[in-house]
Structure 1
Amino acid sequence: MNITIAGVSLYYIISWFFIYSFLGWVWESAYVSVKKGKPVNRGFINGPLCTIYGAGAVSVYLIMKPFAGNLLILYVGGVFTATLLELVTGWLMERIFHTRWWDYSRQKFNFHGYICLGASLGWGVFTILLFHVFQPFVSWLTGLYPKSVGTVALCIVVVLYIIDFATSAAAAFGLSKTFAGVEDMLEDLTAYLHTTRVYETREEIREKLESARNYRHVQDSLAWLSDRRQEVLEHFENLVQDRRLLDAENYMERKQELEQRFDEFVKKYTDIRKKQNGIRNRMVCAYPELKNQFRTYREKHEKKQTK
């Protein structure tokens, strides 16, 4: 590979990209695993790589390389360069996959949830560490083996990465449809239960149904739904017995309708969840806030359409 960018061989740029992507995956997976108290395979793709770390580290290094001797310029330049990359990546992923993969909305001084001041200042520190700690290590690492061996290894890794990225992207496209289907069904069930007057407010019903979004395994969610079905029916019977539903003369018909609606919902819900393959399940586990962030994206999109 004789092609050079900013005076650096493309061979080394690609090598560094994969090494930094792996180091980023180790950091992200370890941090989230400790935070969640269970192993989490972090990252967009299935393999042990976090692409944004690889792209970010290499981009910042190539851009800031002329200023390697000036700590102040490195810090400020790292803040702006990495923040811009995070902003563009977050915006593109939301537009492409119709959901957010991270959200800083709860952090102070954030911009539309894509970036925030705290993270940006952290990127400046990372840039200094990049030049004085990580890059010397990565350069040493790539010098341990002959370039001919590295070229063959890179070709294999690139092919595997492309396949992994393509399958992960296809799965990610389907995630928003899955979330949308579940949201629509929960809203339909909420609207129906509200018309039955079994519960007084939609908020009360939504609170009862909220956990349906959060189960990883289909069987867990079905067990939860079965419990909610029984709870609704028992609540309905208690209201009838207490004569708080004065128009409950058609008690059996209404009870059967409740049962039928729940059964229909469970069937549709099961069909949707079973279509969620292993890759999508891993993504949901790696990014547990995806469901809520999809709802945020959808609500924001609907508000724009109504204006």
Structure 2
Amino acid sequence: ACMLEYVTSWGMEKLFHARWWDYSHRRFNIQGRICLLGAIVFGLLGVLITDVIQPEVNRITQMIPLPVVHWMCVIFMALIVADTIITVLGIIDLADNLAKFSETVQAYAEKAGDSLQWGKDIFRDKFRDKVQDRVQDWSDSSQEILANMQATAASILNKQQRRMINAFPRLRFTDSIKYSKIIETLHEMLRRK
């Protein structure tokens, strides 16, 4: 399982120029792609699945006629392939859409006579005296800015891209600090919904 996680991390980084997860903050990691804690958890769950769950699944599947099992395998494989294709197609132009998002938000900021610096600190900087964990405590203008940024993100980033950004809180681009900062901003913005 750890070898699969390592190879997947490496492959996704090469394909999308982004680091989807990072265990660098954990002890005993290998290039931040895998860590000892993950290996232990995978190992324990592997034993649980092999010794406890698989015998039950085997007992149940023995009751299903073999042709039905074959069709189920074909259907599930088709679903996995379709899900993989939809995911890859959905995130393949993520960098381009982040650039569009950045340009659009910067244009709004320039119209307001401001310049926007990206990163999660944007909320502390922009709303310095109003930093609260709950959006309803912000001023109307701050809520309006946040709502405009959220609407802009929703119109530019597709559903799959928003889902992946939300699902991978440590997502970072390997070839663009700016895009990594934009991702940080989007994380913080989604957190404040």
In which range does the TM-score fall when normalised by the shorter chain? 0.5 to 0.7
Distance in 1 between residues matched to 2:61 and 2:159, nearest whole Å: 34
Are the equivalent residues in 2 in contact too, given 1:99–1:176 (CA < 8 A)?
no
For 2:19, what is the secondary structure of its paired residue? coil
Are the structure 2 counterparts of residues 204 and 91 from structure 1 closer, same or farther at C-alpha, using a change threshold of 3 Å? closer
Aligned to 2:68: 149
Q: What TM-score do you get using the length of structure 2 for normalisation?
A: 0.62
- Deviation of 1:151 (Å): 1.6
Aligned to 1:125: 44
Aligned to 2:77: 158
Aligned to 1:282: 163
Residue 113 of structure 1 aligns with an amino acid whose one-letter code is G
- Deviation of 1:295 (Å): 4.5
Distance in 1 between residues matched to 2:85 and 2:38, nearest whole Å: 29
Aligned to 1:136: 55
Are the equivalent residues in 2 in contact too, given 1:171–1:279 (CA < 8 A)?
yes
Distance in 2 between residues matched to 1:120 and 1:177, nearest whole Å: 35
Distance in 1 between residues matched to 2:103 and 2:40, nearest whole Å: 40
Larger radius of gyration: 1
Hey, which of these two has a bigger chunk of helix by percent? 1
Residue 20 of structure 2 aligns with an amino acid whose one-letter code is W
Are the structure 2 counterparts of residues 205 and 89 from structure 1 closer, same or farther at C-alpha, using a change threshold of 3 Å? closer
Are the equivalent residues in 1 in contact too, given 2:98–2:157 (CA < 8 A)?
no
Q: Deviations over 1:87-143 (max 9, x none)?
A: 111111122223233221221222222111211122222232232123222322322
Are the structure 2 counterparts of residues 227 and 179 from structure 1 closer, same or farther at C-alpha, using a change threshold of 3 Å? closer
Q: 1:174 aligns with which of 73, 78, 93?
A: 93
1:70-89 maps to which residues of 2 (within 5 A)? 82-89=1-8
Aligned to 1:35: none
Residue 208 of structure 1 aligns with an amino acid whose one-letter code is D
Unaligned runs of 5+ in 2: 128-140, 178-193
Residue 85 of structure 1 aligns with an amino acid whose one-letter code is L
Q: Indicate the structure whose relative CO is greater, using CA pairs within 8 Å and at least 6 residues apart.
A: 2
Alpha-carbon RMSD: 4.0
Distance in 2 between residues matched to 1:142 and 1:204, nearest whole Å: 53
Aligned to 1:253: none
Are the structure 2 counterparts of residues 193 and 166 from structure 1 closer, same or farther at C-alpha, using a change threshold of 3 Å? same
Distance in 1 between residues matched to 2:156 and 2:104, nearest whole Å: 16
Residue 95 of structure 1 aligns with an amino acid whose one-letter code is K
- Deviation of 1:159 (Å): 2.5
Are the equivalent residues in 1 in contact too, given 2:13–2:20 (CA < 8 A)?
yes
Distance in 2 between residues matched to 1:204 and 1:158, nearest whole Å: 43
Are the equivalent residues in 2 in contact too, given 1:93–1:100 (CA < 8 A)?
yes
Q: What TM-score do you get using the length of structure 1 for normalisation?
A: 0.42
